[in-house]
Amino acid sequence: MDIVSAKPTLIEQDGITHHLIDIITPEIEFSAGDFVKHAKKIIDEEFKKGKDIIISGGTWFYIKSLLDKDSLPDCKINKELREELNKLDKIELWEKLNKLDSVRAQKIHPNNKDKVIRSIELCLELNMPVSEYQRKENKKYKSFWYMMDFSREELYKRIDLRVDKMIESGLIEEWERNSKKYPNSAILKNTIGYKEFFDYKDGIYKTKNEAIDKIKQHTRNFAKRQLTYFRQNKNIKLIKSADDIND
């Protein structure tokens, strides 16, 4: 998933050690909890060498889970349970969560099926409402947070340009290869940049150009949600360029 994930190229990685790249394949789920375990191990090893770590990316929940004061519940993914839950529609799922944990249910929209399923999974694994679970204190790291300060217009312009470059770099061909190699991967089918071509294949969109326009639209929508989460963190410093980083 090199192109769709904007993975750093080998040239960009030259001379700089990058971690947690190419460690799993697309048919394997990799949760925020898995990320935290892997990331903490690497950070601790690098700290022992006197080195600092740059955590890069826009996956807000994963980074928050790593650096938040409270740790995530240590609950493994139950594939059999998820397969059964996925057979239910979104309203049935939400009502099931509401019976297990009404407080949690009120915070999740029924359309967010993945989050509802994970919440049900946690309730059953913990044998209690997730909202009542006392999370353990997370390992503390001294961290500095930075985010590029773009206008909405500039951000959307960059997103559209990025998608165009992804297409030029072979995004469609990458989707075709991976969809054949991993035909049962839910990850591929839910990834912005891939799922639109699955929809095109299923006849939802009439042309590939329409699917490409939808990638841009869905990416802009996702960026808007990301900004909402980022703004919740009062420690984030907005920067125009790397010259603004002076901590």
Indicate if the pLDDT at residue 15 is higher than 90: no
Identify whether the C-beta of residue 144 lies closer than 8 Å to the C-beta of residue 237: yes
Phi and psi angles of residue 131, each rounded to the nearest 5 degrees, phi first: -65, -20
Condensed to tens digits (0 to 9), the pLDDT of residues 106-139 reads 989 888 888 899 899 989 988 889 888 877 777 8
Q: Indicate the average pLDDT of the chain.
A: 89
pTM over 0.85: no
Q: Quick check: 236 and 147 in contact, CB under 8 A?
A: yes
State how far the Cα of 61 lies from the Cα of 232, in Å rounded to an integer.
12
What is the Cα–Cα distance from 52 to 46, expressed in whole angstroms?
Answer: 7
Q: Which CATH number fits domain 145-244: 1.10.287.890, 3.40.50.11600, 1.10.1370.30, 3.40.50.150?
A: 1.10.287.890
Amino acid 247: pLDDT? 55
Work out the pLDDT band at 95, boundaries 50, 70, 90.
very high
**In this structure, what token pair is assigned to residue 245?**
């980083």
d(CA 96, CA 119): 10
The encoded tokens of residue 102 equal 């009404």
Please tell me the predicted confidence (pLDDT) of residue 243. 80
Domain boundaries, the chain: 10-67, 79-132, 145-244
Any idea which of 116-120, 173-177, 227-231 has the lowest mean pLDDT? 227-231
Nearest to 81 by CA among 125, 113, 111: 125
DSSP state of 68: S
For residues 57-78, average pLDDT: 80
Q: Please give the average per-residue pLDDT across 160-177, as a whole number.
A: 97
Asked if 67 contacts 235 with a C-beta cutoff of 8 angstroms, the reply is no
C-alpha 235: how far from chain center: 21
CA distance readout (Å), 12 to 8, 15, 16, 19, 124: 6, 8, 8, 13, 44
Tell me which of 141 and 170 has the higher pLDDT.
170
- Beta strands 236-239 and 145-148, pairing class: parallel
Instruction: Please check the confidence at residue 12 and state whether its pLDDT lies above 80.
Output: yes
The encoded tokens of residue 32 equal: 């925020």
Instruction: Identify the pLDDT of residue 184.
Output: 86
Structure tokens belonging to residue 108 = 């999740």
Q: In this structure, are residues 190 and 222 in contact, taking their beta carbons and an 8 Å threshold? A: no
Highest mean pLDDT among 55-64, 113-122, 173-182: 173-182
Mean pLDDT (whole number) for 211-223: 95
Given a cut of 90, whether residue 196 has pLDDT beyond it is yes
